[in-house]
Structure formats: C-alpha cells, structure tokens
Chain A
Amino acid sequence: MSQAFTKSMARNIFFGGTTFFFLLLVALTFDTMQVLPKRDHRENITPQVASGKHIWEKNDCIGCHTLLGEGAYFAPELGNVYTRRGPEFIKAWIAAQPTKSPGRRQMPQFNLTDQELDDMVAFLKWTSEINTSKWPPNIEG
C-alpha cells in the first residue's frame, strides 16, 4: 500500500502545482494591468485626487467605512457617496462631526482645512467613476 501514494510524488505535485498556478496568476495580472487604464480612468488622477487619497489614509477612514466594499462595516460605503450625496453635502457632513446625539455612532472631528475637504471630495469623485462592474447593487451602497 505504501507504494500507492508516495511522499515524493506528493511533494512534486505541491511544487509543480504551486509554480503552475503562480504563473497563471502572473499571466492574469499582466492582462489586468493592460486593461485597467480603461476601467480606472487614471488620466483623471490629478494631484488633488492623489492628495485626497493621502488624507483618506492619514485619517484611517477605512477603520469605519468601506470603500468599494473593503474596510470596516461600521459606517456607510463611500465608493459611491459622491453620487449618493454630492460634493457639498460631503464637505458639510465632515465639518459638522461629531453629531453628539446620544447613543448613536459617532464620527470624529478631523479638523480638515477647506483645501483638504476639496481634495477629499476630488478623490471620492474619481473613486465613484471607477468601473466596478455595476457594484454596489443600488445607490445606498
């Protein structure tokens, strides 16, 4: 029975299979990199959009919100918040935090300048224009 299933064969399958599928991943990644410019509209990533992403990261927004469905599930999806709420609402909302209504989830005050608020909005606008294969299912995110 020991001949029926050898360790060296199992090992070869591990190394062969892993190499094989890693190569497949690399090939698909290569193709993805060719296609992405058409879907992410990178020509629209202005310095302002880049700065907005930086502000997004510096304040750990992903610690409560999702962005394209990834992040924490404590607060609303923001990938499409630009289309859901519009630029003025977003700025006013961030500036007005926290709401301090008792017992409700609270968003901290991040003390963003007007410039930073505009950058953030630019970033969220660009994000809302990424081709996400029609996700989320509806405007509520």
Chain B
Amino acid sequence: MQTDQATLAADGTRHSGNYPPGDLAIWLFIFAELLAFGVFFLSYAFARANNVELFNQSQLHLNRESGAINALVLITSSYFVVRAVAAIKEGHERLCANWLGVAIALGFVFIVIKVFEFHAKFSAGISLSTNTFYMFYLSLTLFHFMHVILGMIILAAVMIKARSGGYSPENHTGVETGASYWHMVDLVWIILFPLVYVIR
C-alpha cells in the first residue's frame, strides 16, 4: 500500500494507510518475542501453581518500589516516542529526534534503577539456582533488561537517521518501526511487573 492512498476514517482522523504501522517484518519479530514472553509467563503461572508458598514467600523480598518506578519510567518514555512519531508526521525532524532522545534517556533511567536492583539481589547471594521463583524473577527481568537495551539501540539508530534528515512526513516507516518495538518492550514490563512483583 502506498502512502498517497491515505484515507480519512469515519472519525475524521487521518490514517497513513499502512497498518500495522512500521515495517511488517518488525511485527513478525514482535509476534515471536511476545510468544516467547507469553510462554515464559505461562510457565511462571504453572510453576507457581505447584509451589504457591515458595513464590509468595520469595516475592516479599522483591523491591516493589523500584519495579513500580520503572513501570512509570517506561510508560513515560513510550509517551515521548508517540510524540516523536507525531512530530515526524508533521515534518519536524529535529523535534522528532529530540523526543526520541528523551525516550532513550528514560530507557537509561530504567537501566540504572534495574542495575541497582540486580546489584542488591546478587550481593545477597541470589542466583538463577537459588529457587524456582528467583529463577523466573531473574530470567524474566534479565531477558526483559536485554530487550530494553536492544530497544534503546534501535531508537538511537532511528534518532541518528532522523537528525540527519532521513525521514519525512511521506516516509517515516523507520520511526514507526522503532516505536512499535519500544511499545512492545514497554508492554511486556507492564505485564511482567504485576505478575512477578505484585500478584500473590
């Protein structure tokens, strides 16, 4: 589908005509990633059902505050990514790059908070082999942690290209692609945080 075939939807908002936004390939990737996380979440539920006592016990030792702050940080950064996409649609390349910069900076805040959290756990001698709960806690959060880093790398690549004028209102698939991936990273944390830190 080409962008000049943009249509006006019933509510009057302008759709760029390509749905889902961004490159379809990233959606296949996102689908695979969500599947991996999804199976992991199911495994968590399954393992927990077999050992509720241990899971509840260990869960008490997690730092819920840092998890909650991180959830806010990621949601906020997602908001700035949305602003970046909106900006490029209006043709503001610099603004787009700047919003992406803010989103990346928030990603960095997430990383720092997480590193403190990990440091506390590792210093307490907790590892993947401590017990099933900590295995899941560390696997899921580390796996997600790596995704945040990858997401930041993707956003940085998009930002550099935006800054050098690589995108325009007609052609900004790359920005939407990066944004889609970042939202996925955010979404996973929004599920992961309550599941592992809060729900008992």
A10 surroundings in chain B (CB, below 8 A): 25
Cβ–Cβ < 8 Å partners of B3 in chain A: 3
CB closest chain-A residue, reference B23: A9
Among B58-66, B87-95, B142-150, the stretch that binds chain A is: B142-150
Number of interface residues of A (CB under 8 A): 17
| B26, A13: Cβ atoms closer than 8 Å | yes
Q: Is A4 an interface residue when CB atoms closer than 8 A count as contact?
A: yes
Question: Is chain A's binding surface mostly helix, strand, loop or mixed?
Answer: helix
Check: A5 CB closer than 8 A to any chain B CB: yes
Evaluate contact between A1 and B1: CB separation under 8 angstroms: yes
Question: Is B2 located at the chain interface by the 8 A CB criterion?
Answer: yes
B146 touches A3 (CB 8 A): no
A31 CB contacts on chain B under 8 angstroms: 127-128
Q: Tell me whether B29 is interfacial, beta carbon within 8 Å.
A: yes
Q: Which residue of A lies closest to B29 (CB)?
A: A13
Our pick among B23, B29, B128 for the contact of A4 (Cβ within 8 Å) is: B23
Chain A residues near B129: list those with CB within 8 A: 35
User: Is there a chain B Cβ closer than 8 Å to A20's Cβ?
Assistant: yes
Question: Given the interface contacts A13-B29, A17-B29, A34-B127, does A4 sit within 8 Å of B143 by beta carbon?
Answer: no
Within 8 A of B (CB), among A1-22: 1, 3-6, 9-10, 13, 16-17, 20
A24 within 8 A of B: yes
Q: Which residues of A approach B to under 8 Å, CB–CB?
A: 1, 3-6, 9-10, 13, 16-17, 20, 23-24, 27, 31, 34-35
What are 12 A-B pairs with beta-carbon distances under 8 A?
Answer: A4-B1, A4-B18, A4-B23, A5-B25, A9-B26, A13-B26, A13-B28, A13-B29, A16-B150, A16-B153, A17-B29, A23-B146
Further contacts, 11 of them, CB under 8 A, given A1-B1, A9-B23, A16-B153: A3-B18, A3-B173, A6-B23, A9-B25, A9-B177, A13-B25, A13-B26, A20-B146, A20-B150, A27-B142, A35-B127
